[in-house]
Amino acid sequence: MKNRRGFFIIRILVFIFVLPPSSFSESIHRVRIDNADYIPLDELVSVFGLDHSFDMISQRGRLYRKSHYAVYGVGLSAFLVDGRLYKSSGAAIRNRGRIFIPEDAGESIMGSFDPRVRLRRGADLLFVERIRDDETAPVEKKKSPPSSRDRICFIVIDPGHGGKDPGAVGKGGLEEKDITLKVARYLEKKIAKKLGDLRVHLTRNNDRFVELSQRTDIANKMLRKSENGIFLSIHVNSSLSSRISGHETFFLSQNPTNEDARNTAALENNVVILEEKSKSAPKTYDDVDYIEAMMITTQIQKESSELADSIQKGMAKNIKSFGSRGVKKADFYVLRGVLMPAVLIEIGFITNKKEARHLRISSHQEKIADGIAEGVKLFIKRYNRLLKMN
Ligand SMILES: [Zn+2]
């Protein structure tokens, strides 16, 4: 699979073989795009001798030098730099085959890759200054890129499944996709009421099929400089045993809590077989490149676990008819690569007769939405407390 995929990856490798023995000055063009300062990525790659690969299918690229790496995506204002999230003043742009990244993203990447490099802004050029080893001036200690602890400004609600993908199906033709959409709409209203200053966006607001990676992209594209968000994917569980009932909240981890958690993830991930195969190459979710590009930072995982904890508390308080199954972790494709706190909520079991009856009733759907909204509010309260301490 990897070989075949390799054909569609443009690999640009530019090395500078001869470097002058003393410090020297080079430059990179500054370009004005949409009232922001950009630099052409090919010039950054060339000047610093970076390795660069770009995946046409995912529109994501990677930069390497020695043990350093950075990941970017066309249309995204978020960059992963040496495992930390950095939000730039604008999104990466691809124009006539050339990639342009915001100047501040370029500065942040090089600051992390090589502290012995300084970038000085000129009128039309960004001058590169390298500090020689024998130079007496101390190397300015570059601070690492700012973390993702930015104010929570938006919530993306992701109603699971839709269109040709009904999700789990219960007795009498009850479909997961309809329940998740209804709960999502209630949740949108509850959030507007409880947390009015947050922008709320649904990944789908009707019965249509949305690929998992599109859901992630919708959320990531909302990230802006100094703004963070929350991603909530809503699902209904199923089990071979009709006795099992209750709600649980998951956050992403390669190591599932237990066999049940692994099975739930496998069921939810199954939808990829319905996703349109790209004309040029099959879409894969197990590709090593993909996982690396989608790597989440440990901070996002920690925040996701706190978000899951708060939501589970909120639901347990509001849903009395069924028990809490707690917070769990598993490898859900839809949570991979979400660059903000993200959870997947299994609101109940469609395979349990009593719970299925409740899940189709508006008042129960509303109760679930109440619980989730309360959990989100609790999380933001905790999150903001930490924000003030930083
Ligand atoms: Zn589902």
Secondary structure (DSSP) of 345-364: EEEEETTSHHHHHHHTSHHH
Q: Answer for the pair 347, 314: CB distance below 8 angstroms, yes or no.
A: no
pLDDT in tens, 288-345: 444 444 555 677 888 999 999 999 999 999 999 999 999 999 988 888 878 899 999 9
Q: How far is the CA of 135 from the centre of ligand 1 (A)?
A: 60
* CA 160 to ligand 1 centroid distance, Å: 5
- Expressed in angstroms and rounded, the spacing between residue 34 Cα and the centre of ligand 1 is 39
Which pairs from 136-141 meet CB under 8 Å and 24+ separation? 139/115, 140/115, 141/115
- The rounded Å distance from CA 233 to ligand 1 centre is 9
Instruction: Please tell me the distance between residue 300's alpha carbon and the centre of ligand 1 in angstroms.
Output: 23
Cα–ligand 1 centroid distance for 234 (angstroms):
7
Distance 331 CA to ligand 1 centre (A): 13
Evaluate if residue 141 carries a pLDDT over 50: no
User: What's the gap in Å between 377 CA and the centre of ligand 1?
Assistant: 24
CA atoms within 13 A on the CB side of 244: 17
Calpha distance 377→365 (Å, rounded): 18
pLDDT band at 25 (very low <50, low <70, confident <90, very high): low
Give the pLDDT of residue 110: 93
Strands 51-55 and 9-13, bridge-based pairing:
antiparallel
The residues, any chain, with a CB within 8 Å of residue 33's CB and separated by 6 or more, are: 90, 93, 100
CATH of domain 8-13+22-130: 3.30.457.10
Is 231 a residue whose pLDDT tops 60? yes
Ligand 1 centroid to Cα of residue 150, in Å, is: 30
User: Confidence band (pLDDT; 50, 70, 90) for 11?
Assistant: very low
Over residues 150-177, the mean pLDDT reads 95
Q: Which two tokens stand for residue 14?
A: 């530019």
Cα separation, 103 vs 90, in Å, equals 9
Domain ranges for the chain: 8-13+22-130, 151-389
Q: What is the whole-number distance in angstroms between the Cα of residue 269 and the centre of ligand 1? A: 8
Please state, in angstroms and rounded to a whole number, the distance separating the CA atoms of residues 180 and 199: 20
pLDDT at position 183: 98
- Partnered with residue 81 across adjacent β-strands are 70, 84
Q: Which amino acid is present at 30?
A: R
Report residues near ion ligand 1: CB below 5 Å.
Answer: 160, 167, 235, 268
Residue 345 alpha carbon to ligand 1 centre in Å: 9
Residue with the bigger pLDDT between 187 and 273: it is 187
Scanning the structure block, which residue is given the tokens 């993909």?
290
**236 CA from centroid of ligand 1 (Å):** 5
Name the nearest CA neighbour of 322 among 285, 298, 350, 281. 350
- Give 303 or 8, the one with higher predicted confidence: 303
pLDDT tens digits for range 98-113: 999 999 999 999 999 9
CB 117 within 8 Å of CB 90: no
> Class of 151-389 per CATH?
alpha beta
- Regarding predicted confidence, which is higher, 29 or 11? 29
Cα of 287 from ligand 1 centre, angstroms: 23
- DSSP alpha helix (H) spans, the chain: 2-6, 41-48, 103-113, 176-194, 212-220, 259-269, 288-293, 298-318, 353-359, 362-389
**CB-based contact 213:60 (threshold 8 Å):** no
The 3 state secondary structure assigned to 138-167 is CCCCCCCCCCCCCEEEEEEEEECCECCECC
In angstroms, the Cα distances linking 4 to 9, 13, 84, 283 are 10, 20, 30, 11
Rounded mean pLDDT, 277-292: 47
176: CA distance to ligand 1 center in Å? Answer: 7
Strand, helix or coil for residue 195: coil
Of the listed ranges 20-24, 30-34, 37-41, 368-372, the least confidently predicted one is 20-24
CA distances, 207 to each of 162, 179, 182, 299, 361 (Å): 5, 11, 11, 34, 19
How far away, in angstroms, is 161 Cα from ligand 1 center? Answer: 6
- 251 CA to middle of ligand 1, Å? 14
ipTM for the assembly: 0.99
